[in-house]
Amino acid sequence: MKNTAKSDEELISALLANGTIKAAAAAVGLSERAMYDRMNTGEFQALYKAAKADLMRGAVVTMNGQLLAAINTVVEIMQDPENNPAIRLQAAQTILNNAGKFTQRLQESESRVILQIENNRYSM
């Protein structure tokens, strides 16, 4: 592998797309041993970790973008008098259960922002 930067990108893409080292190695035409050897370097591990983090951030952004639609769907199910009462109750419980979690996350986020503002104010 003469061009490790390009090779690292290809290996990381293969790992993220295929899920197993064996499948990723086959996808890029390497032996499993060669794949493991490359993966055992600190440089590769840092790049792979960053790529996985980017992938997760993208997934979170996508899910957050659908949050309002999901909430609206549950509300529609809960409010539709033609739905089975058990289904409507389950929708209501879903809203109640998640409202507490979202409220807690919001409060934690607000606390972190306030702490960052205070830290910045004192560091000036």
Range of the domain at 119: 66-124
| Number of structural domains the chain divides into | 2
Strand ranges inside 5-115, DSSP E: none
Domain boundary residue, one of 65, 87, 106:
65
The verdict on 99 and 117 lying in the same domain is: yes
Q: How many CA atoms lie within 13 A of 49 on its CB side?
A: 7
Per-residue model confidence as pLDDT tens for the chain (124 residues): 444 545 899 999 999 999 899 999 999 999 999 999 999 999 999 999 999 999 999 998 898 899 899 999 999 999 999 999 999 999 999 999 988 888 888 888 888 888 888 888 777 6
Q: From CA 74, how far away is CA 61, in angstroms rounded?
A: 20
Single pTM value for the model: 0.57
The verdict on 61 and 88 lying in the same domain is: no
Q: Encoding tokens for residue 86?
A: 């058990």
Q: Which residues of 69-96 are buried (b: 16+ CB within 10 A; e: fewer)?
A: eeeeebeebbeeeeeeeeebeebeebee
Domain boundary residue, one of 65, 86, 105:
65
